[in-house]
Amino acid sequence: MTPRATITDAFNILLQPERFKDYGPNGLQVEGSAEVGKIVSGVTASLALIEAAVAARADAIFVHHGLFWRGQTGAVTGWMKQRLALLLKHDINLYAYHLPLDAHPDLGNNAQLGLQLGLTATSRFGDQSLGFLGAKTDGGSFAGALALSEHVKKGLNSPVSLVNIAQAAIKNIAWCSGGAQAYFEAAIAAGADAFITGEISEPQAHYAREMNVAFIACGHHASERYGAPAVAAHVASQFGLVHEFIDIDNPA
């Protein structure tokens, strides 16, 4: 068992939340037991994940999407009451890191998404430098947008939406996990031949056609499954804690 405060420090030192302007509090969102022996990681602090963490006898949950976001009313009713009540009843600590988890150069969502897809970043782009720009780790290129989208579909085991089936070879690839469709224009400006993110909105389909840059939406959840377990496993191994990643399937 390791003191909660030690674990909190380790996450904060690793992810440096003070460097980011974010949509919710990063770090310990809900205080639980003073000692931690087991961490469960997941993408979102949903009721299903909290129930699974209770069953797994976790002392802490580490997620990308926590409970608190800008724009909420602040009322503890409905789903918020259910989730909080279960955490508090079982004395489980909830850690949530949003943008700092996307950004970490080795363990974050974008770095791990790149690893999963065989891509290596050589630079960053976009607001708060969250976008990754690079190419295939083996130095090669994809025959075209369709080949890249098939590669993403297979690599993530997730359906993808592809706009602009450009025939030209694809070398420079930009990616940003989650709902980063608004990063598309910055990706184009940075010189990307294709952009991979979780979601697409209406305007991006037109930009993809008009700017001749492929847009691949691979699912918000599917694109953010890799950072939380990488960070939680890293910190767990620092202190000899048990770690388990629990994937609660989400088609969105």
Closest residue by beta carbon to Zn ion: 178
Question: Measured in whole angstroms, how far is the alpha carbon of residue 161 from the centre of its chain?
Answer: 19
Q: Which of 142, 184 has the CB closer to Zn ion?
A: 184
Q: Are 252 and 219 in contact (CB under 8 A)?
A: yes
Q: Report the nearest approach of Zn ion to the CB of residue 234 (Å).
A: 20
Q: Report the nearest approach of Zn ion to the CB of residue 178 (Å).
A: 3
* Among the listed residues 209, 204, 150, 142, the one whose alpha carbon sits nearest the alpha carbon of residue 172: 142
Q: Which stretch binds Zn ion (CB under 5 A): 28-36, 172-180, 184-192, 205-213?
A: 172-180
Q: Are 95 and 11 in contact (CB under 8 A)?
A: yes
Q: Which of 178, 229 has the CB closer to Zn ion?
A: 178
Q: Report the nearest approach of Zn ion to the CB of residue 223 (Å).
A: 8
Q: Which stretch binds Zn ion (CB under 5 A): 147-155, 175-183, 187-195, 209-217?
A: 175-183
Residues 48-107 that bind Zn ion (CB under 5 A): none
- The string of DSSP letters for 56-123 reads TT-SEEEEEE-S--TT------HHHHHHHHHHHHTT-EEEE-SHHHHH-TTTSHHHHHHHHHTEEEEE
32 binds Zn ion (CB under 5 A): no
Which runs of consecutive H residues, i.e. helices, occur in 212-249? 220-223, 227-239
* Among the listed residues 227, 251, 252, 224, the one whose alpha carbon sits nearest the alpha carbon of residue 11: 227
Residue 73 parent element (H or E): none
Q: Which of 149, 177 has the CB closer to Zn ion?
A: 177
Q: Which of 131, 178 has the CB closer to Zn ion?
A: 178
Largest CA distance in the chain: 57
Q: Which stretch binds Zn ion (CB under 5 A): 11-19, 30-38, 161-169, 176-184?
A: 176-184
Residues 104-163 that bind Zn ion (CB under 5 A): none
Q: Which of 126, 178, 219, 227 binds Zn ion (CB under 5 A)?
A: 178
Binding residues vs Zn ion (CB under 5 A) = 178
